[in-house]
Amino acid sequence: MTERMVPAGDAQLCAEAFGSPADPTILLIGGAAASMDYWEDEFCSRLAAAGRHVIRYDFRDTGRSSHYPAGAPGYTGDDLVTDALAVLDGYGVAAAHLYGVSMGGGIAQELAVEYPERVLSLTLQSTSPAGPGGPDRPDLPPMSPRLAELFASEQPAPDWSDRDAAISALVDGLRAFDGTIAPDAEERAVAARMYDRTIDVAASQTNHWILDGGGLDRGKLAEVTAPTLVLHGTADPLLPYPHGEALANEIPGARLVPLAGMGHQYPLRAVWDTVVAEVAAHTAR
């Protein structure tokens, strides 16, 4: 694997590929405030071993991609959507299978509606047709009371320049979204790699949450023509399992696969066998 920088408008995005370019491409699109490091090397290698060309990349403000001052992102949510196409262009890929987690699942949904010619299939994990539930979305359950209480409390930001304190804060933040499966032992190592590769950690943990633009009108999900696989943790505290059910119901022909005990997370090693097999089969078309 070799990292490369690809242009995206006025930005440069850091990306990395696994496997042969002659194989069908899967573009991995991560969650908010997360670099490509959360798509673990071994997970990517297992997909590549199944005969796929796997590309992961750093969003703006994460990893080695272009950064902006914390609190003043020089881009919008719409830019994050078209950045995914810029990554495909950088590798000379006309159309790809998209695998998005959380915010990345939302980006993948938008791409499938707005740029269907670039999308061979969708895999949507830990995401929703409309975001967290609440009074304005009575058909979708809200986040867990524990998580709601955490979000409502004012947690002081760590000193992001203090490596040990920052990594501990990143891991603590991840654990708030755990399900009932024990977190991976590699969690701290992944967070450390993300910290060490990221140009401005304060910006990475701030700017995605304050972006303007982006977001797909829920009614447009009926326009998705790409074959769709929905993966959803049965113990997701942010987007409870009925969000996955709703997403699968609203995308024509979508298939839902529950991930028992998973929270709102990247795929844990405990479910890799299931996820790799499902994604390999889904992207074989």
Q: How many helices (H) and strands (E) does the chain have?
A: 9, 8
Q: Running DSSP on this structure, what letter comes out for residue 6?
A: E
Pick the catalytic residue from 53, 243, 264, 282.
Answer: 264
The amino acid occupying position 102 is S
Q: Running DSSP on this structure, what letter comes out for residue 137?
A: B
Pick the catalytic residue from 66, 178, 236, 282.
Answer: 236
| 102 annotated active-site | yes
**Pick from 83, 29, 32, 19: which is nearest to 56 by CA?**
29
Tell how far CA 185 is from the center of its chain. Answer: 20
Cβ atoms within 10 Å, residue 209: 9
Q: Is 145 helix (H, G, I), strand (E, B) or coil?
A: helix
Pick the catalytic residue from 102, 128, 144, 204.
Answer: 102
- Burial of 245 from C-beta contacts in 10 A (0-12 / 13-18 / 19+): middle
For residue 33, is it left (φ>0), alpha (ψ between -120 and 50) or beta?
Answer: left
| 178 annotated active-site | no
Q: What residues contact 30, with CB distance under 8 A and at least 6 apart?
A: 36, 38, 39, 56, 59, 100, 101, 102, 103, 104, 266
Identify each DSSP E strand in 19-77 by its residue range. Answer: 25-29, 53-57
Q: Running DSSP on this structure, what letter comes out for residue 207?
A: G
Q: Which residues are catalytic?
A: 102, 236, 264
